[in-house]
Chain A
Amino acid sequence: MSVLVFVESRIGSIKKQSLEAVTYAKYIADNTSSDVKALIIGTISSEELSKLALYGASKIINVSSETWQKHDSRRYAQLVTEVAEKENCNVVLFAHSNMGKALAPRVAVRMKAGFVPNVLALPESNNPLILRKKSYNGAAFQKVKVNSSNAVLSINPNVCGLKESPVSVNVEKYEPTTPAPADTIIENVDVTTGKVILTEASIVVSGGRGMKSGENWKPIEELAEVLGAGLACSRPVSDEGWRSHEEHVGQTGKIIAPDLYIAIGISGAIQHIGGISGSKVIVAIDKDKDAPIFKYADYGIVGDAFEVLPRLIESAKKFKNS
Protein backbone atom coordinates (compact mmCIF):
# COMPACT_ATOMS: atom_id res chain seq x y z
CA MET A 1 0.00 0.00 0.00
CA SER A 2 1.14 3.53 -0.79
CA VAL A 3 0.18 7.10 0.04
CA LEU A 4 -0.87 9.19 -2.97
CA VAL A 5 -0.52 12.98 -3.09
CA PHE A 6 -2.45 15.09 -5.60
CA VAL A 7 0.11 17.76 -6.52
CA GLU A 8 -0.88 21.20 -7.81
CA SER A 9 1.18 23.42 -10.04
CA ARG A 10 0.82 26.85 -11.56
CA ILE A 11 2.56 27.92 -14.76
CA GLY A 12 4.85 24.92 -14.54
CA SER A 13 5.94 25.32 -10.94
CA ILE A 14 4.82 23.10 -8.11
CA LYS A 15 2.98 24.81 -5.27
CA LYS A 16 4.64 24.95 -1.88
CA GLN A 17 1.48 23.71 -0.21
CA SER A 18 1.65 20.56 -2.34
CA LEU A 19 5.28 19.99 -1.36
CA GLU A 20 4.16 20.29 2.25
CA ALA A 21 1.51 17.65 1.54
CA VAL A 22 4.28 15.40 0.18
CA THR A 23 6.25 15.97 3.39
CA TYR A 24 3.15 15.03 5.38
CA ALA A 25 2.58 11.93 3.24
CA LYS A 26 6.20 10.87 3.74
CA TYR A 27 5.67 11.07 7.50
CA ILE A 28 2.66 8.72 7.29
CA ALA A 29 4.48 6.41 4.86
CA ASP A 30 7.55 6.13 7.10
CA ASN A 31 5.33 5.19 10.03
CA THR A 32 3.35 2.58 8.12
CA SER A 33 6.20 1.05 6.06
CA SER A 34 4.79 2.30 2.80
CA ASP A 35 5.90 4.77 0.17
CA VAL A 36 4.72 8.03 -1.38
CA LYS A 37 3.46 8.49 -4.93
CA ALA A 38 2.52 11.77 -6.55
CA LEU A 39 -0.04 12.56 -9.24
CA ILE A 40 0.50 15.77 -11.16
CA ILE A 41 -1.39 17.20 -14.13
CA GLY A 42 0.38 19.48 -16.57
CA THR A 43 3.59 19.94 -18.47
CA ILE A 44 6.25 20.12 -15.79
CA SER A 45 10.03 20.17 -16.28
CA SER A 46 12.00 17.25 -14.91
CA GLU A 47 13.89 19.66 -12.69
CA GLU A 48 10.60 20.75 -11.12
CA LEU A 49 9.44 17.14 -10.80
CA SER A 50 12.65 16.25 -8.98
CA LYS A 51 11.44 18.45 -6.09
CA LEU A 52 8.80 15.80 -5.39
CA ALA A 53 11.54 13.19 -4.96
CA LEU A 54 13.46 15.55 -2.71
CA TYR A 55 10.56 15.51 -0.24
CA GLY A 56 10.02 11.77 -0.49
CA ALA A 57 7.89 10.79 -3.50
CA SER A 58 9.37 7.69 -5.14
CA LYS A 59 6.95 7.53 -8.04
CA ILE A 60 5.43 10.35 -10.09
CA ILE A 61 2.40 9.85 -12.30
CA ASN A 62 2.24 12.74 -14.75
CA VAL A 63 -0.83 13.45 -16.88
CA SER A 64 0.33 15.94 -19.47
CA SER A 65 -2.13 15.68 -22.32
CA GLU A 66 -3.74 18.96 -23.29
CA THR A 67 -7.33 17.77 -22.72
CA TRP A 68 -6.65 17.32 -19.02
CA GLN A 69 -5.37 20.84 -18.32
CA LYS A 70 -8.67 22.43 -17.40
CA HIS A 71 -9.98 21.94 -13.95
CA ASP A 72 -13.18 19.93 -13.67
CA SER A 73 -14.01 18.57 -10.25
CA ARG A 74 -15.94 15.49 -11.37
CA ARG A 75 -13.41 14.30 -13.94
CA TYR A 76 -10.41 15.11 -11.79
CA ALA A 77 -11.95 13.14 -8.92
CA GLN A 78 -12.44 10.18 -11.24
CA LEU A 79 -8.85 10.48 -12.39
CA VAL A 80 -7.45 10.58 -8.85
CA THR A 81 -9.51 7.54 -7.88
CA GLU A 82 -8.40 5.67 -11.00
CA VAL A 83 -4.74 6.37 -10.21
CA ALA A 84 -5.17 5.47 -6.52
CA GLU A 85 -6.59 2.10 -7.51
CA LYS A 86 -4.01 1.41 -10.18
CA GLU A 87 -1.17 2.36 -7.85
CA ASN A 88 -2.60 0.53 -4.86
CA CYS A 89 -2.89 3.63 -2.69
CA ASN A 90 -5.27 3.56 0.25
CA VAL A 91 -4.46 7.01 1.61
CA VAL A 92 -4.80 10.09 -0.62
CA LEU A 93 -3.61 13.56 0.40
CA PHE A 94 -4.49 17.00 -0.92
CA ALA A 95 -3.47 20.51 -0.01
CA HIS A 96 -6.41 22.25 1.67
CA SER A 97 -6.51 24.82 -1.16
CA ASN A 98 -9.33 25.91 -3.51
CA MET A 99 -8.50 22.91 -5.67
CA GLY A 100 -8.16 20.54 -2.73
CA LYS A 101 -11.52 21.65 -1.32
CA ALA A 102 -13.16 21.00 -4.68
CA LEU A 103 -11.63 17.56 -5.23
CA ALA A 104 -10.82 15.82 -1.97
CA PRO A 105 -14.46 15.41 -0.79
CA ARG A 106 -15.46 13.91 -4.14
CA VAL A 107 -12.53 11.49 -4.08
CA ALA A 108 -13.45 10.45 -0.53
CA VAL A 109 -16.98 9.54 -1.64
CA ARG A 110 -15.73 7.67 -4.71
CA MET A 111 -13.23 5.67 -2.66
CA LYS A 112 -15.62 5.19 0.27
CA ALA A 113 -12.81 6.65 2.33
CA GLY A 114 -12.87 8.18 5.78
CA PHE A 115 -12.42 11.88 5.10
CA VAL A 116 -10.53 14.32 7.30
CA PRO A 117 -10.25 17.81 5.78
CA ASN A 118 -8.60 20.94 7.17
CA VAL A 119 -5.95 18.91 9.02
CA LEU A 120 -3.93 21.04 11.43
CA ALA A 121 -1.29 18.72 12.90
CA LEU A 122 0.77 15.61 12.18
CA PRO A 123 -1.21 12.42 12.93
CA GLU A 124 -1.62 11.48 16.56
CA SER A 125 -1.66 7.86 15.42
CA ASN A 126 -0.85 6.40 12.00
CA ASN A 127 -2.68 3.11 12.24
CA PRO A 128 -5.55 3.69 12.75
CA LEU A 129 -5.21 7.27 11.54
CA ILE A 130 -6.18 9.78 14.21
CA LEU A 131 -5.99 13.42 13.13
CA ARG A 132 -6.69 16.90 14.43
CA LYS A 133 -8.77 19.12 12.20
CA LYS A 134 -10.02 22.67 12.51
CA SER A 135 -13.49 23.27 13.93
CA TYR A 136 -15.52 26.21 15.27
CA ASN A 137 -13.37 28.61 13.25
CA GLY A 138 -10.28 27.64 15.17
CA ALA A 139 -11.78 27.69 18.67
CA ALA A 140 -11.30 23.92 18.97
CA PHE A 141 -9.66 20.94 17.29
CA GLN A 142 -11.84 18.04 16.34
CA LYS A 143 -9.91 14.81 16.87
CA VAL A 144 -11.11 12.32 14.26
CA LYS A 145 -10.37 8.63 13.86
CA VAL A 146 -10.58 6.98 10.45
CA ASN A 147 -12.41 3.64 10.68
CA SER A 148 -12.22 2.62 7.04
CA SER A 149 -9.33 1.05 5.14
CA ASN A 150 -9.20 4.03 2.77
CA ALA A 151 -8.56 7.58 3.92
CA VAL A 152 -8.56 10.98 2.23
CA LEU A 153 -7.01 14.00 3.97
CA SER A 154 -6.52 17.65 3.08
CA ILE A 155 -3.64 19.38 4.78
CA ASN A 156 -3.39 23.03 5.81
CA PRO A 157 -0.29 25.09 5.10
CA ASN A 158 2.33 25.30 7.85
CA VAL A 159 1.35 22.03 9.52
CA CYS A 160 4.64 20.22 9.05
CA GLY A 161 6.61 22.59 6.86
CA LEU A 162 9.01 21.16 4.29
CA LYS A 163 11.36 18.37 5.27
CA GLU A 164 13.83 16.94 2.79
CA SER A 165 13.86 13.19 2.52
CA PRO A 166 15.41 12.42 -0.86
CA VAL A 167 14.53 9.18 -2.62
CA SER A 168 15.15 7.92 -6.14
CA VAL A 169 12.19 8.46 -8.38
CA ASN A 170 10.45 6.90 -11.31
CA VAL A 171 8.33 9.15 -13.53
CA GLU A 172 5.47 7.66 -15.52
CA LYS A 173 3.56 9.53 -18.23
CA TYR A 174 -0.03 8.52 -17.84
CA GLU A 175 -2.97 8.73 -20.22
CA PRO A 176 -6.21 8.33 -18.21
CA THR A 177 -9.00 5.99 -19.27
CA THR A 178 -11.58 8.27 -17.65
CA PRO A 179 -13.38 10.62 -20.06
CA ALA A 180 -11.63 14.00 -20.21
CA PRO A 181 -13.15 17.11 -18.59
CA ALA A 182 -16.23 18.45 -20.36
CA ASP A 183 -18.81 19.40 -17.73
CA THR A 184 -18.01 23.08 -17.74
CA ILE A 185 -17.26 25.42 -20.60
CA ILE A 186 -14.63 27.96 -19.68
CA GLU A 187 -15.45 31.25 -21.36
CA ASN A 188 -12.80 33.45 -19.91
CA VAL A 189 -9.85 33.28 -17.56
CA ASP A 190 -8.81 36.35 -15.67
CA VAL A 191 -5.34 35.72 -14.31
CA THR A 192 -3.98 37.91 -11.56
CA THR A 193 -0.62 39.12 -12.77
CA GLY A 194 2.13 41.11 -11.18
CA LYS A 195 0.66 40.77 -7.71
CA VAL A 196 1.58 38.33 -4.98
CA ILE A 197 -1.32 35.90 -4.74
CA LEU A 198 -2.83 36.32 -1.31
CA THR A 199 -3.69 32.69 -0.65
CA GLU A 200 -0.19 31.59 -1.63
CA ALA A 201 1.88 34.39 -0.12
CA SER A 202 4.34 33.45 2.59
CA ILE A 203 4.19 36.97 4.03
CA VAL A 204 0.98 39.04 4.20
CA VAL A 205 0.63 42.67 5.23
CA SER A 206 -2.90 43.57 6.29
CA GLY A 207 -4.64 46.80 7.23
CA GLY A 208 -7.80 47.49 9.24
CA ARG A 209 -10.13 50.32 10.09
CA GLY A 210 -7.31 51.89 12.09
CA MET A 211 -5.89 53.07 8.73
CA LYS A 212 -8.82 55.55 8.61
CA SER A 213 -9.23 55.70 4.81
CA GLY A 214 -8.26 54.05 1.54
CA GLU A 215 -5.97 56.96 0.69
CA ASN A 216 -3.71 55.99 3.56
CA TRP A 217 -2.72 52.63 2.07
CA LYS A 218 0.52 53.77 0.39
CA PRO A 219 2.81 52.78 3.29
CA ILE A 220 1.09 49.39 3.60
CA GLU A 221 1.65 48.78 -0.10
CA GLU A 222 5.22 49.89 0.21
CA LEU A 223 5.93 47.62 3.18
CA ALA A 224 4.39 44.70 1.27
CA GLU A 225 6.50 45.49 -1.75
CA VAL A 226 9.74 45.61 0.22
CA LEU A 227 8.91 42.27 1.85
CA GLY A 228 7.51 40.64 -1.31
CA ALA A 229 4.27 40.19 0.59
CA GLY A 230 0.62 39.78 -0.34
CA LEU A 231 -1.95 42.38 0.70
CA ALA A 232 -4.98 41.79 2.90
CA CYS A 233 -7.53 43.77 4.89
CA SER A 234 -10.29 43.38 7.46
CA ARG A 235 -13.93 43.22 6.43
CA PRO A 236 -14.97 46.82 7.21
CA VAL A 237 -12.11 48.00 5.00
CA SER A 238 -13.47 46.15 1.98
CA ASP A 239 -17.08 46.97 2.91
CA GLU A 240 -16.17 50.67 2.90
CA GLY A 241 -14.60 50.22 -0.50
CA TRP A 242 -11.16 51.32 0.73
CA ARG A 243 -9.72 48.10 -0.70
CA SER A 244 -10.91 45.42 -3.10
CA HIS A 245 -13.03 42.55 -1.79
CA GLU A 246 -10.32 40.23 -3.03
CA GLU A 247 -8.20 41.30 -0.06
CA HIS A 248 -10.78 40.68 2.67
CA VAL A 249 -9.63 37.94 5.03
CA GLY A 250 -11.56 36.29 7.84
CA GLN A 251 -14.39 33.99 8.41
CA THR A 252 -16.44 35.54 5.59
CA GLY A 253 -13.47 36.35 3.37
CA LYS A 254 -10.38 34.41 2.43
CA ILE A 255 -8.77 32.03 4.85
CA ILE A 256 -5.00 32.27 4.76
CA ALA A 257 -2.08 30.72 6.58
CA PRO A 258 1.13 32.53 5.67
CA ASP A 259 4.42 32.18 7.53
CA LEU A 260 4.11 35.79 8.64
CA TYR A 261 0.96 37.91 9.02
CA ILE A 262 1.41 41.59 9.86
CA ALA A 263 -1.82 43.22 11.11
CA ILE A 264 -1.92 46.99 11.20
CA GLY A 265 -4.83 48.82 12.86
CA ILE A 266 -6.86 45.62 13.15
CA SER A 267 -8.52 45.02 16.52
CA GLY A 268 -8.58 41.21 16.26
CA ALA A 269 -12.31 40.38 16.21
CA ILE A 270 -12.97 36.66 16.42
CA GLN A 271 -14.32 36.62 12.84
CA HIS A 272 -11.08 38.16 11.60
CA ILE A 273 -8.92 35.74 13.57
CA GLY A 274 -10.91 32.82 12.07
CA GLY A 275 -9.29 33.61 8.73
CA ILE A 276 -5.70 34.06 9.84
CA SER A 277 -5.18 31.86 12.89
CA GLY A 278 -3.28 29.32 10.81
CA SER A 279 -0.45 31.82 10.28
CA LYS A 280 2.85 30.67 11.70
CA VAL A 281 3.77 34.06 13.18
CA ILE A 282 1.49 37.06 13.75
CA VAL A 283 2.75 40.61 14.23
CA ALA A 284 0.28 43.26 15.42
CA ILE A 285 0.59 47.02 15.33
CA ASP A 286 -2.18 48.88 17.12
CA LYS A 287 -2.38 52.04 19.17
CA ASP A 288 -4.57 50.36 21.79
CA LYS A 289 -2.48 48.15 24.08
CA ASP A 290 -5.64 46.27 25.08
CA ALA A 291 -6.71 45.42 21.51
CA PRO A 292 -7.64 41.69 21.37
CA ILE A 293 -5.23 41.17 18.46
CA PHE A 294 -2.34 41.12 20.96
CA LYS A 295 -3.78 37.93 22.48
CA TYR A 296 -3.18 36.17 19.17
CA ALA A 297 0.03 37.93 18.14
CA ASP A 298 3.55 36.67 18.66
CA TYR A 299 5.11 40.13 18.38
CA GLY A 300 3.42 43.43 19.02
CA ILE A 301 4.06 47.13 18.73
CA VAL A 302 1.78 49.54 20.55
CA GLY A 303 1.83 52.74 18.59
CA ASP A 304 0.24 54.96 15.95
CA ALA A 305 0.36 53.17 12.59
CA PHE A 306 1.12 56.41 10.79
CA GLU A 307 4.27 56.87 12.85
CA VAL A 308 5.32 53.22 13.03
CA LEU A 309 4.85 52.33 9.34
CA PRO A 310 7.56 54.63 7.92
CA ARG A 311 10.00 53.22 10.45
CA LEU A 312 8.96 49.68 9.63
CA ILE A 313 9.57 50.31 5.95
CA GLU A 314 13.03 51.70 6.69
CA SER A 315 13.87 48.71 8.90
CA ALA A 316 12.55 46.28 6.31
CA LYS A 317 14.72 47.89 3.63
CA LYS A 318 17.73 47.80 5.91
CA PHE A 319 17.09 44.15 6.68
CA LYS A 320 16.67 43.26 3.00
CA ASN A 321 19.94 44.97 2.13
CA SER A 322 21.91 43.41 4.96
Chain B
Amino acid sequence: MKVLVCIGHVPDTTTKIRFDAEMKNLDKTGVQWVINPWDELALTRALELKEKSGGLIEKVSVITVGKADVEPTIRKALAIGADDAFRVDAEPLDSYTIAAQIANVAKTEAFDIVFAGIESSDFNSAAVGSMIAEFMDIPSVSAISFFDIENGKIIIKRDIDGGKETITINTPFVAIVQKGICINPRIAAMRGIMMARTKPIKVYTPVETEVLTELVGFEIPAPKAECKMIAPEDTDKLFELLHGEAKVI
Protein backbone atom coordinates (compact mmCIF):
# COMPACT_ATOMS: atom_id res chain seq x y z
CA MET B 1 0.00 0.00 0.00
CA LYS B 2 1.29 3.45 -0.87
CA VAL B 3 0.37 6.54 1.11
CA LEU B 4 0.54 10.14 -0.09
CA VAL B 5 0.40 13.04 2.38
CA CYS B 6 -0.49 16.54 1.15
CA ILE B 7 1.80 19.15 2.63
CA GLY B 8 0.75 22.79 2.62
CA HIS B 9 3.49 25.44 2.83
CA VAL B 10 2.09 28.22 5.01
CA PRO B 11 3.26 31.19 7.09
CA ASP B 12 3.91 30.39 10.73
CA THR B 13 0.79 31.28 12.72
CA THR B 14 2.58 34.03 14.63
CA THR B 15 3.57 35.82 11.39
CA LYS B 16 2.19 39.30 10.98
CA ILE B 17 0.16 39.05 7.76
CA ARG B 18 0.88 41.92 5.33
CA PHE B 19 0.21 42.44 1.62
CA ASP B 20 1.76 44.35 -1.25
CA ALA B 21 0.52 47.85 -2.16
CA GLU B 22 -2.12 46.47 -4.57
CA MET B 23 -3.41 44.14 -1.81
CA LYS B 24 -3.06 41.30 -4.30
CA ASN B 25 -0.15 39.29 -2.90
CA LEU B 26 1.16 38.34 0.49
CA ASP B 27 4.23 40.36 1.44
CA LYS B 28 6.70 37.53 1.99
CA THR B 29 9.45 39.53 3.65
CA GLY B 30 10.29 38.13 7.04
CA VAL B 31 7.71 35.32 6.80
CA GLN B 32 8.65 32.05 8.52
CA TRP B 33 7.29 29.15 6.49
CA VAL B 34 6.07 25.96 8.10
CA ILE B 35 4.21 22.77 7.23
CA ASN B 36 0.48 23.41 7.67
CA PRO B 37 -0.19 22.16 11.26
CA TRP B 38 -2.79 19.52 10.24
CA ASP B 39 -0.50 18.13 7.56
CA GLU B 40 2.25 17.67 10.12
CA LEU B 41 -0.16 15.55 12.17
CA ALA B 42 -1.25 13.58 9.09
CA LEU B 43 2.38 12.86 8.18
CA THR B 44 3.17 11.78 11.74
CA ARG B 45 0.22 9.37 11.79
CA ALA B 46 1.06 7.99 8.33
CA LEU B 47 4.62 7.24 9.51
CA GLU B 48 3.38 5.60 12.73
CA LEU B 49 1.02 3.40 10.70
CA LYS B 50 3.78 2.45 8.28
CA GLU B 51 6.09 1.43 11.12
CA LYS B 52 3.53 -0.81 12.79
CA SER B 53 2.04 -2.17 9.57
CA GLY B 54 4.64 -4.92 9.12
CA GLY B 55 5.26 -4.03 5.51
CA LEU B 56 1.63 -3.48 4.54
CA ILE B 57 2.41 0.19 3.93
CA GLU B 58 5.45 0.19 1.64
CA LYS B 59 6.06 3.90 1.56
CA VAL B 60 4.88 7.30 2.66
CA SER B 61 5.35 10.08 0.13
CA VAL B 62 4.59 13.78 0.43
CA ILE B 63 3.33 16.25 -2.15
CA THR B 64 3.24 20.03 -2.38
CA VAL B 65 1.90 22.19 -5.16
CA GLY B 66 4.15 25.23 -5.44
CA LYS B 67 7.15 26.82 -7.08
CA ALA B 68 10.74 26.04 -6.07
CA ASP B 69 10.50 28.27 -2.97
CA VAL B 70 8.45 25.56 -1.21
CA GLU B 71 11.30 23.05 -1.29
CA PRO B 72 12.60 23.82 2.23
CA THR B 73 9.14 22.85 3.54
CA ILE B 74 9.26 19.63 1.52
CA ARG B 75 12.75 18.90 2.89
CA LYS B 76 11.34 19.35 6.38
CA ALA B 77 8.71 16.70 5.66
CA LEU B 78 11.42 14.38 4.35
CA ALA B 79 13.49 15.03 7.46
CA ILE B 80 10.50 14.08 9.63
CA GLY B 81 10.51 10.74 7.84
CA ALA B 82 8.70 10.71 4.49
CA ASP B 83 10.38 8.37 1.99
CA ASP B 84 10.17 10.60 -1.05
CA ALA B 85 8.41 13.69 -2.34
CA PHE B 86 6.58 15.20 -5.28
CA ARG B 87 6.37 18.86 -6.14
CA VAL B 88 3.99 20.08 -8.82
CA ASP B 89 5.58 23.14 -10.30
CA ALA B 90 2.53 25.43 -10.28
CA GLU B 91 1.46 28.55 -8.42
CA PRO B 92 -1.07 27.36 -5.78
CA LEU B 93 -3.83 29.69 -6.96
CA ASP B 94 -6.93 28.16 -5.43
CA SER B 95 -8.21 24.86 -4.02
CA TYR B 96 -9.57 23.72 -7.37
CA THR B 97 -6.26 23.98 -9.23
CA ILE B 98 -4.24 22.60 -6.29
CA ALA B 99 -6.53 19.57 -6.01
CA ALA B 100 -6.50 18.95 -9.77
CA GLN B 101 -2.69 18.77 -9.69
CA ILE B 102 -2.53 16.48 -6.66
CA ALA B 103 -5.23 14.19 -8.12
CA ASN B 104 -3.17 13.84 -11.28
CA VAL B 105 -0.07 12.71 -9.37
CA ALA B 106 -2.04 10.43 -7.04
CA LYS B 107 -3.65 8.73 -10.03
CA THR B 108 -0.46 8.44 -12.11
CA GLU B 109 1.54 7.06 -9.20
CA ALA B 110 -1.32 4.80 -8.02
CA PHE B 111 -1.52 5.86 -4.38
CA ASP B 112 -3.94 3.92 -2.18
CA ILE B 113 -4.55 6.46 0.57
CA VAL B 114 -4.21 10.22 0.21
CA PHE B 115 -4.06 12.23 3.43
CA ALA B 116 -5.00 15.91 3.52
CA GLY B 117 -5.50 18.29 6.42
CA ILE B 118 -8.95 19.61 7.20
CA GLU B 119 -7.96 23.22 6.56
CA SER B 120 -4.93 25.24 5.49
CA SER B 121 -3.96 28.21 7.61
CA ASP B 122 -3.50 30.45 4.56
CA PHE B 123 -6.62 29.85 2.43
CA ASN B 124 -8.84 28.37 5.19
CA SER B 125 -10.88 26.68 2.47
CA ALA B 126 -11.30 23.17 3.91
CA ALA B 127 -11.57 22.04 0.29
CA VAL B 128 -8.48 20.45 -1.23
CA GLY B 129 -8.92 16.94 0.24
CA SER B 130 -12.53 16.51 -0.88
CA MET B 131 -11.74 17.99 -4.29
CA ILE B 132 -8.88 15.53 -4.87
CA ALA B 133 -11.30 12.67 -4.18
CA GLU B 134 -13.87 14.04 -6.61
CA PHE B 135 -11.29 14.55 -9.35
CA MET B 136 -10.27 10.91 -8.84
CA ASP B 137 -13.86 9.73 -8.36
CA ILE B 138 -12.99 7.88 -5.16
CA PRO B 139 -14.53 8.09 -1.66
CA SER B 140 -13.43 10.67 0.90
CA VAL B 141 -13.85 10.65 4.65
CA SER B 142 -13.84 14.02 6.34
CA ALA B 143 -13.19 15.25 9.90
CA ILE B 144 -11.18 12.15 10.90
CA SER B 145 -10.03 12.16 14.52
CA PHE B 146 -8.79 8.53 14.70
CA PHE B 147 -7.15 6.33 12.09
CA ASP B 148 -5.84 2.81 12.54
CA ILE B 149 -5.14 -0.32 10.53
CA GLU B 150 -5.73 -3.63 12.28
CA ASN B 151 -5.10 -6.91 10.46
CA GLY B 152 -5.27 -5.07 7.19
CA LYS B 153 -8.60 -3.47 8.05
CA ILE B 154 -8.88 0.30 8.12
CA ILE B 155 -10.73 1.74 11.11
CA ILE B 156 -11.63 5.40 11.19
CA LYS B 157 -13.54 7.67 13.53
CA ARG B 158 -15.01 10.80 12.11
CA ASP B 159 -16.84 13.67 13.72
CA ILE B 160 -20.40 14.09 12.63
CA ASP B 161 -22.33 17.08 13.91
CA GLY B 162 -23.35 15.88 17.32
CA GLY B 163 -21.25 12.73 17.71
CA LYS B 164 -18.70 10.36 16.27
CA GLU B 165 -18.99 7.56 13.77
CA THR B 166 -16.70 4.56 13.57
CA ILE B 167 -16.39 3.35 10.01
CA THR B 168 -14.42 1.01 7.80
CA ILE B 169 -13.57 1.67 4.20
CA ASN B 170 -11.63 0.11 1.33
CA THR B 171 -8.81 1.76 -0.54
CA PRO B 172 -8.36 3.90 -2.54
CA PHE B 173 -9.77 6.89 -0.70
CA VAL B 174 -8.88 10.33 0.62
CA ALA B 175 -8.56 10.77 4.39
CA ILE B 176 -9.17 14.33 5.63
CA VAL B 177 -7.79 14.65 9.11
CA GLN B 178 -8.11 16.91 12.12
CA LYS B 179 -7.25 17.00 15.80
CA GLY B 180 -6.95 13.63 17.49
CA ILE B 181 -5.32 11.82 14.58
CA CYS B 182 -2.08 11.74 16.60
CA ILE B 183 -0.91 13.39 19.81
CA ASN B 184 2.17 15.39 18.92
CA PRO B 185 3.72 16.07 15.54
CA ARG B 186 7.09 14.42 14.97
CA ILE B 187 10.07 16.70 14.95
CA ALA B 188 12.98 16.18 12.58
CA ALA B 189 16.06 14.79 14.30
CA MET B 190 19.61 15.44 13.11
CA ARG B 191 19.78 12.04 11.42
CA GLY B 192 16.54 12.73 9.58
CA ILE B 193 17.80 16.10 8.41
CA MET B 194 20.99 14.49 7.04
CA MET B 195 19.04 11.73 5.31
CA ALA B 196 16.54 14.18 3.83
CA ARG B 197 19.28 15.81 1.78
CA THR B 198 19.55 12.82 -0.52
CA LYS B 199 15.89 11.80 -0.67
CA PRO B 200 14.34 12.38 -4.09
CA ILE B 201 11.92 15.21 -4.90
CA LYS B 202 10.25 14.44 -8.19
CA VAL B 203 9.03 17.55 -9.99
CA TYR B 204 5.83 17.25 -12.05
CA THR B 205 4.89 19.75 -14.73
CA PRO B 206 1.34 20.89 -14.07
CA VAL B 207 -1.59 19.56 -16.08
CA GLU B 208 -3.94 22.11 -17.66
CA THR B 209 -6.90 23.06 -15.50
CA GLU B 210 -9.77 25.45 -15.83
CA VAL B 211 -9.49 28.53 -13.68
CA LEU B 212 -13.00 29.18 -12.39
CA THR B 213 -12.39 31.85 -9.77
CA GLU B 214 -10.23 34.94 -9.62
CA LEU B 215 -8.69 36.65 -6.63
CA VAL B 216 -9.81 40.27 -6.68
CA GLY B 217 -7.65 41.12 -3.69
CA PHE B 218 -7.23 40.94 0.05
CA GLU B 219 -8.88 43.18 2.62
CA ILE B 220 -7.98 43.72 6.23
CA PRO B 221 -11.09 43.49 8.41
CA ALA B 222 -12.11 46.78 10.01
CA PRO B 223 -10.76 46.99 13.55
CA LYS B 224 -13.29 46.09 16.18
CA ALA B 225 -14.93 48.90 18.12
CA GLU B 226 -13.35 49.54 21.50
CA CYS B 227 -14.19 46.91 24.10
CA LYS B 228 -16.81 48.19 26.54
CA MET B 229 -15.52 47.71 30.07
CA ILE B 230 -17.87 46.73 32.85
CA ALA B 231 -16.97 46.94 36.52
CA PRO B 232 -16.53 43.49 38.11
CA GLU B 233 -19.19 44.35 40.73
CA ASP B 234 -21.70 45.21 38.03
CA THR B 235 -22.38 41.86 36.36
CA ASP B 236 -26.11 42.64 36.05
CA LYS B 237 -25.13 45.39 33.64
CA LEU B 238 -23.41 42.87 31.37
CA PHE B 239 -26.64 40.94 30.88
CA GLU B 240 -28.60 44.13 30.31
CA LEU B 241 -26.17 45.08 27.55
CA LEU B 242 -26.09 41.61 26.01
CA HIS B 243 -29.87 41.69 25.91
CA GLY B 244 -30.71 45.30 25.10
CA GLU B 245 -27.72 46.45 23.09
CA ALA B 246 -26.05 43.39 21.55
CA LYS B 247 -29.33 41.42 21.34
CA VAL B 248 -27.64 38.04 21.71
CA ILE B 249 -29.54 36.77 24.74
Could you list which residues of chain A lie within 8 angstroms of chain B, going by C-beta atoms? 8, 10, 15, 71-74, 77, 96-99, 101-106, 108-110, 112-118, 130, 132-148, 183-192, 197, 199-200, 202-203, 227, 245, 248, 251-255, 259-260, 270-271, 274, 280-281, 283-284, 294-304, 307-308, 311-312, 314-316, 318-319
Given A105-B126, A191-B162; 4 other pairs, CB 8 A cutoff: A199-B161, A252-B179, A311-B232, A312-B238
> Once bound together, how far apart are the Cα atoms of A227 and B249, in whole Å?
9
Residues of B within 8 A of A15 (CB): 161
Restricting to B197-237, which residues have a CB under 8 Å from any CB of A?
A: 210-221, 224-225, 227-233, 235-236
B235 A311 Cβ-Cβ under 8 A: yes
With contacts A186-B166, A298-B228, A312-B235 known, is A74 near B133, CB below 8 A? yes
Within the complex, the shortest CB–CB distance from B240 to chain A, in Å, comes to 8
Q: Which of B38, B125, B176, B235 contacts A117 (CB 8 A)?
A: B125
The B interface, classified by DSSP as helix, strand, loop or mixed, is mixed
With contacts A108-B131, A316-B239 known, is A118 near B126, CB below 8 A? yes
With contacts A71-B160, A105-B127, A186-B166 known, is A115 near B143, CB below 8 A? no
A297 B227 Cβ-Cβ under 8 A: yes
B124 A135 Cβ-Cβ under 8 A: yes
Residues of B within 8 A of A109 (CB): 96, 99, 131, 134-135
With contacts A106-B140, A191-B163 known, is A299 near B218, CB below 8 A? no
Q: Which of B130, B159, B215 contacts A106 (CB 8 A)?
A: B130
Restricting to B56-79, which residues have a CB under 8 Å from any CB of A?
A: none
Q: Is B142 an interface residue (CB 8 A)?
A: yes
Within the complex, the shortest CB–CB distance from B230 to chain A, in Å, comes to 5
Residues of B within 8 A of A138 (CB): 124, 221
Residues of B within 8 A of A252 (CB): 37-38, 179
Q: Give 28 pairs: A residue, B residue, CB < 8 Å, sorted on A.
A: A73-B130, A73-B133, A73-B139, A73-B140, A101-B130, A102-B143, A102-B176, A105-B130, A108-B131, A109-B96, A112-B212, A140-B220, A142-B123, A143-B215, A145-B214, A183-B139, A185-B168, A188-B165, A188-B166, A245-B180, A253-B179, A254-B179, A270-B13, A299-B242, A302-B232, A315-B238, A315-B239, A319-B236
Within the complex, the shortest CB–CB distance from A163 to chain B, in Å, comes to 14
Within the complex, the shortest CB–CB distance from B145 to chain A, in Å, comes to 8
B242 A283 Cβ-Cβ under 8 A: yes
> Once bound together, how far apart are the Cα atoms of A50 and B128, in whole Å?
35
B139 A147 Cβ-Cβ under 8 A: no
> Once bound together, how far apart are the Cα atoms of A116 and B94, in whole Å?
10
B127 A283 Cβ-Cβ under 8 A: no
Within the complex, the shortest CB–CB distance from B165 to chain A, in Å, comes to 5
B96, B143, B231 — most chain A CB neighbours (10 Å) = B96
> Once bound together, how far apart are the Cα atoms of A145 and B217, in whole Å?
10
B161 A10 Cβ-Cβ under 8 A: yes
Within the complex, the shortest CB–CB distance from B174 to chain A, in Å, comes to 9
> Once bound together, how far apart are the Cα atoms of A241 and B134, in whole Å?
38
Q: Is B107 an interface residue (CB 8 A)?
A: no
A133 B124 Cβ-Cβ under 8 A: yes
Residues of A within 8 A of B122 (CB): 135-136
With contacts A130-B216, A185-B168 known, is A251 near B37, CB below 8 A? yes
With contacts A98-B142, A106-B134 known, is A187 near B167, CB below 8 A? yes
B179 A98 Cβ-Cβ under 8 A: no
